[in-house]
Structure 1
Amino acid sequence: MINDKKLDSIEEIAKTIITKKGAIGDTLFTILQHFKLGMLAGKSGIKKRQGFKAGHILNLFILFPFLSLSSVRAFYCSGFSTMTRAQKDVLFRLKNNPFNNWRKLLYLVAQRFKTLSRIDCEDEKEPVTCFILDDTIQPKSGKRLEAIGKVWDHVFHKYRLGIKGLFLSYWDGINTIPLDFSLHNERGKNGKRPYGLSKRELKARYRKDRPRKSFGYTRFKELGQSKIENGLLMIRRALRYGFIPDYVLTDSWFSTKEFIRKIRSFRNGAIHFAGQVRLDKRKYHYRGRAFSGKELRRHLKGQIKRSRIHKAYYIEVIAIYPGIGEVKLFFSRFSKRSKWHVLLTTDLTLSYNKMLKLYNNRWTIEVMFKELKQYLNLGKCQSNDFDAQIADTTISLITYTILSLYKRIAEYMPLGQVFRDCKEQLLEATLAERLWRLFVSLILSFIQIFELDISIEEFLKRLFQTQQGNYIIKQLLSTPPLKSQLQRI
């Protein structure tokens, strides 16, 4: 009998299956191998006490989007389940374990990306680097999920059932890499319907007791914490892991005085803030007088300039922001009838054009959200367990980082094209493996039915290595019924 145990290892499948574009190991699996997820999982404390290694299961999870699968159940209901001998409980236990430090694993993967990507840019000029902080909603369909509730969607301007994710990413001048995240719900102001749910719906939500010393307990506590406070904690953690940005970019929701003051306190003021601020009642001191944003803009209406590069009108002024110090304000609009918006930075050397170019990097996190949701199953986890939600989100972010490295190597292809290419190759490889298993099974049945005194190894050797065997194969493949079936596959 042919020993097919090696096919239970994803890495070995990569070495044995060939596609029309060459070895699939040259793409997705080679990148996976370089990231050494098994080793990084061990450093993060994500280990299996017995049975299958955590690295094997993590690699399996990463393949789900490429197989058009979004859950463990879908995987075991599909024909792809032959890729592993692990039962579904093995995968569920890894996801639901509150002692797994998924946050550390994500940081280690980002560090690994930084190390691997540094090789191809040694001779390049040091780019401007940024932390980008933003949130996005993860819609859900079930009201029994742990900590589920209704959250405000600022895109559709209505409340939706789901959880909000706060994400910190790192822009290295080429790619946006996710570093950290926290999940949040919103209690709301209606005391009779907290979280937008009735008492019956609140009671029906899944509950789980977690040890206080577990990482899952810490992540669960973040649900009700301030996103601004959590954002600052993420930035502090990212600095400890060696990610040092030149700027922190945010939208107007995070641009509070306390947030900006904290950013300036990191690394003795070496990190600058750049972001949009609201035209609210906050005061700026200019030439001995205190102005709100609107008042200052009206006071400087005679200093309007025009940027030919961006086809925009703007006012540029240095003012004192009490508690922060000197800041540079840019009042900007792109037509004479549009509303004025304000950009604020603590870097007084920036011009309007440079500030706008810098702030445009913030939109890379919006692109990341879109690609994560469209291709990598972000927010599609319907597990009731909050620990599984954390694990699933982390796996999506790790997959995004891995694809970003491939994108960087493959001449900056769009990530969507990278995803489609890897998916096409993986599906072809998986189909080839399944057809081979079916072929071997048919040969075994043939030998047993006719009671032939020959081993399957000898049978295959005669079939493929003799002239008569090659002639039989060509005749079989040239028959119209089989040919049409292969074309349909």
Structure 2
Amino acid sequence: MKSIPQIDDEKDTKALISSFTKLIGLGNLGKKVNFKRHSLIDLVTVIVWMIKARFARKSLPRFDKPVNFTKRTGRNVLNDGRINWQKLICLAAAKLISSLRPVIDHRRRLALIVDDTLMSRSCSTKTELLARVYDHNKKKYLTGYRGLTVGWSDGNTFLPINFALMSTKEPKNMIGKAPVTQDQRSIAGRRRAQAQRQMNDVTVELIKQAIDEGVPADYVLFDSWFTSPKMFWQLKQLGLDSVGMVKQSKKIYYRYRKRLYDVKGLYARLVASKIPKKENYLYSCVVQAQYRGHAFPLRLVFATNRGKGKQYLVLASTNTSLRPKEIIQLYGRRWQIETYFKAAKQYLALDKSQIQSYDGQCGYIAVTALTYDLLAWQERLNTDDRTIGDLFYLMNDALPDLAFEEALVYLMTALKEAKIKLTDKISKIIDNFISMLPKCIQNALEEPA
């Protein structure tokens, strides 16, 4: 971890959170996301308190009591099935992206990145829609959910813009409680139905929702889990080109020079043709894929899988005008979503929720995404090389215990008043100590009593 400079008044966490909520227009989003309460508490007040709890590294029950409402109110807001958390993240991200557009080079290819991550819940068997899900890293089934996420990237900044907490529709894999509602007329019912559908179908829905809410993008990036002719075709109908890693399956065929080949057969054909291998990749060709009678072109790029001997990777793009090197470079940007998962879990406790209601867990993920957006926004505004982790700890240091600060100011003020009775050596020690205090405390000491 790099050394973090002491925070000053201009970068106080409370001021930064306030600036962020005003920038994304959080105060105007309440009605748009169906936030309805009989009390005077607005959505901004509750979410700001939750974000502060993340920076203080405490759960909501253990965090400081809010001033204008109770902790129970905050919990009820998370569990409110009427709130459209997905729309909230989309609208907030669209507003944030619009503020960043002036500093984004017009030559940048704006892309959406899709991936999922394991949300483990090993000790919560009564949690709603809890299921046995397959962990591709550990190669076994674990208890929890799949956190499907859609992010936005311009090559520098990554922002989570939509999500879905995926369960299962197989009764044998269902462990937790059944959905509390299945009424498709309500947001809560549609959210639960979405959790039990095919992940690729939900992915297209999330992307369409983000585009409809004003998130700009030209490409969609995804790994082999989401890659299929169906996915390529559906995204093309939304006006988006795709770049993904192709499965080396014998069940999917592509037409090349009037003959059908699977990926391995096509690679063998290219090798046999004695086409010279390129410097940055092996081979590249344009093939024709099909989905339900619709034929469309794909550019396939065969690249060396470094460290894996003679193995190779296959990338595909629906934009056949892209050069193979550009496709490889664009696909490399997909790694940003992996860094988001790591940072969100390590610093923002993405997978540490103990909430048992499905709506509450979706609200928890939404607050996590907003908190990460704040950190990414700050990282983009700063000209230094601080990471998301650096900024998180900086925010964390900027939330001191107010009682301790007041006590320290009182103590130092008393010592300064008694300065004339002390020796010069002790006075010098006190002056040096004061010079090392945070700016906010130094300013408080300089104020007249």
> How would you bin the TM-score normalised by the shorter chain?
0.7 to 0.9
Q: 1:474 to 1:156 in 2, by over 3 A?
A: farther
Once the two structures are superposed, residues 324-362 of structure 1 have per-residue CA deviations (whole angstroms, 9 ceiling, x without a partner) of 322111122245823222111111122221111010011
**Shift in CA distance, 316/207, structure 1 to aligned 2, threshold 3 Å:** closer
Aligned mates of 1:368, 1:468 — CA distance in 2: 51
**Whole-Å separation in 2 of the counterparts to 1:289 and 1:36:** 55
Q: Provide, for residues 341-397 of structure 1, a one-character-per-residue CA deviation record: whole Å limited to 9, x for no partner.
A: 211111112222111101001111111111111111212111111110010000001
Instruction: Name structure 1 gaps, 5 residues minimum.
Output: 1-18, 444-462
Single out whichever of 294-303 and 328-337 deviates more from structure 2.
Answer: 328-337
* Alignment pair present for 1:131 and 2:100: no
Match of 1:4 in 2: none
- Residue deviations 1:19-58 (CA, integer Å, cap 9, x gap): 7533444644433443342232343222432143221111
- Which residue of structure 2 lines up, in the alignment, with residue 449 of structure 1? none
The match for 2:191 among 204, 219, 223 is 219
Residue equivalent to 2:447: none
Instruction: Indicate yes or no: 2:303 matched with 1:332.
Output: yes
Q: Identify the residue that residue 143 of structure 1 maps to in structure 2.
A: 125
Matching of residue 48 in structure 1 with residue 33 in structure 2: no
Asked if the contact 2:21–2:27 (Cα under 8 Å) also holds between the matched residues in 1, the reply is no
* Corresponding residue of 1:74: 62
Looking at secondary structure, tell me which structure has more helix per residue.
1
2:173 counterpart residue number: 194
Q: How far apart, in 1, do the equivalents of 2:302 and 2:351 lie?
A: 36
Q: Which amino acid aligns with 2:394?
A: D
State whether residues 96 and 388 of structure 1, in contact with CA within 8 Å, keep that contact through their aligned partners in structure 2.
Answer: yes
User: Is residue 139–residue 163 contact of structure 1 (8 Å, CA) maintained in 2?
Assistant: yes
Please say if 1:258 is aligned against 2:258: no
Match of 2:99 in 1: 116
In the alignment, the residues of structure 2 paired with residue 474 and residue 50 of structure 1 have an alpha-carbon distance, to the nearest angstrom, of 59
User: Counterpart in 2 of 1:451?
Assistant: none
Structure 1 counterpart of 2:256, from 276, 281, 286: 286
Provide the C-alpha distance between the structure 1 equivalents of 2:297 and 2:21, rounded to a whole number of angstroms.
47
Matched residue SS, 1:337: coil
Aligned residue for 1:255, secondary structure, equals coil
Q: Please, which of 284, 289, 292 is the counterpart of residue 321 of structure 1?
A: 289
Could you tell me which amino acid in structure 2 is paired with residue 131 of structure 1?
Answer: L
Query: Aligned pair 1:395/2:370, yes or no?
Result: no
Q: Equivalent residue for 1:22? A: 9
Q: CA deviation at 1:210?
A: 6.9
In the superposition, the TM-score normalised over structure 2's length comes to 0.84
Task: Tell me the residue number matched to 1:11.
Answer: none
Counterpart AA for 1:221: A
Per the TM alignment, residue 473 of structure 1 is displaced from its structure 2 partner at its CA by 11
Q: Residue 348 of structure 2 is aligned with which of 376, 380, 392?
A: 376
Contact persistence 1:31–1:406 (CA under 8 A): no
User: In the aligned structure 2, how far is the partner of 1:436 from the partner of 1:378?
Assistant: 30
| Structure 2 counterpart of 1:176 | 158
Aligned to 2:376: 404
Task: Give the Cα–Cα distance (whole angstroms) in 2 for the partners of residues 137 and 53 of structure 1.
Answer: 32
Select 2:87's aligned residue among 104, 109, 114: 104
Conserved in 2, the CA contact under 8 Å of 1:152 and 1:158? yes
Identity %: 22
| 1:93 to 2:69 alignment | no
CA deviation profile, 1:126-183 (whole Å, cap 9, x unmatched): 3101111111111113111111121001111111111111111111232121111111
Residue 247 (structure 1) aligned to one of 208, 219, 222: 219
Say whether the 8 Å CA contact 2:419–2:427 is kept in structure 1. no
Cα deviation for residue 104 of structure 1 reads: 1.6
The separation in 2 between residues aligned to 1:173 and 1:206, in whole angstroms, is 41
Distance between the aligned counterparts of 2:423 and 2:57, measured in 1? 34
Cα pair 1:304 1:314 within 8 Å, conserved: no
Which structure 1 residue ranges, 4+ long, deviate > 6 Å from structure 2?
Answer: 472-480
Matched, 1:59 2:31: no
Letter in 1 for 2:114: L
State which of 147, 159, 162 in structure 1 corresponds to 2:141.
Answer: 159
| Kept in 1: contact 2:120–2:144 (CA 8 A) | yes
User: Contact 1:307–1:314 (CA<8 Å) still a contact in 2?
Assistant: yes
In 1, the alpha carbon distance for the partners of 2:229 and 2:422 equals: 75
SS of the counterpart of 2:146?
Answer: strand
- The residue identity in structure 2 corresponding to 1:155 is N
CA distance in 1, matches of 2:152, 2:7: 36
